Structures are given as C-alpha cells and as structure tokens.
Amino acid sequence: MDSIDLKILALLQNDATLSIATIGEKVGLSQTPCWKRIQRLEADGVIDRRVAVLDPVKLGLGLTVFVSIETSDHSRDWLERFASTVSAMPEVLEFYRMAGDVDYMLRVVVADMQAYDTFYKQLIATLPLKNVTSRFAMEKVKSTTALPLPSAPPNGRFVPTLSVVAGE
C-alpha cells in the first residue's frame, strides 16, 4: 500500500457512495487506475465490504447494552456451540473473545429494557454460563466505523509492522 491507497481508503471510510471519478480526482488519479486500486484493495481483503450505517434510534433500537460473560467451560466444543448460537442472534452486533477478567464481550442493540430481558433469557438458556453482567449505555459520545489509518512514510510505501516498546 502507498499514500494514494491510504487516501482512497480514508475517502471510502467516510463515504462509500463516492463515484470513482470523484475519488480519482481527490487522490490525483484518472478513473481507470483508481478503479483498479479499489479492486485490488477489495481482492486483498483490505476493503472487507461496503455498507450503509443506519441510525438505531430512528429504527426504534434505542438501547445499547455491553454484556460481559464468564464461563467455566473453555473447551473448543463449548466455544464453537456458544459462538454459533450467539452469532445467530441478530441483536448481537459485536462479539469478542477476551483476555482478562471476562471471557466474552457482546455489544447488543435492542428496542428497550423489555426487549433486552427477552434477549437475556434467550442468551442464558443457550449454554451454561458462570456470570453475565450487563452494562447499559446512557449516551453515545463517539461512534465511528473509520479505522485510524497510518500516514505513508517518506518513500510513499506503507508496510504494516508490529512494534514492541520496551517496558510494555
């Protein structure tokens, strides 16, 4: 990836409906080279997909809940069954296996407390869980889907690296 790829990604993260001509103009390319770069970024999996971001409140989904889950069973079979079950629940927008004091973290979006209670009962009926803790969001302060893109180095080529800082 180079600085032009990074500029294209920044533009698409902000507005995936931009035309190829507009993107090309903003990054200094004609349409064909711009389109080829976007196709390559998609083929390489850098661009995972293009979606519309909806307003949950306007759709009647005003309650966001962060659910921490602890389990006593850490077997592969249990995880596969749990992941399959939870991933199929449409209320679960994000699902992470964690390191630290909780095993799993979910971001759940529902209409209201009654809808969450229904979801909660369905969740705890899936498989044995040690502890389920729910945290209710009172206000969305920041929400973005845009990743913080690195700036291109002076040579114009970006190579992802893992850096380790002493003492961390």
Q: Rg of the Cα trace of the chain?
A: 21
Domains in the chain, please, with CATH? 3-43 (1.10.10.10), 57-136 (3.30.70.920)
Q: Which two tokens stand for residue 135?
A: 């945290």
Report pLDDT for 151: 77
- What percent of the chain is modeled with pLDDT above 90? 87
Residue pLDDT, tens place only, 47-79: 999 999 999 999 999 999 999 999 999 999 999
Helix boundaries (H) for 44-141: 76-87, 113-124
Distance of CA 127 to the CA centre of its chain: 25
| Phi, psi dihedrals of residue 70, rounded to the nearest 5° | -115, 145
| Phi, psi dihedrals of residue 48, rounded to the nearest 5° | -75, -45
Residues lower than pLDDT 50 in the chain: 162-164, 168
Global pTM reads 0.83
How many whole angstroms separate alpha carbon 10 and alpha carbon 29? 15
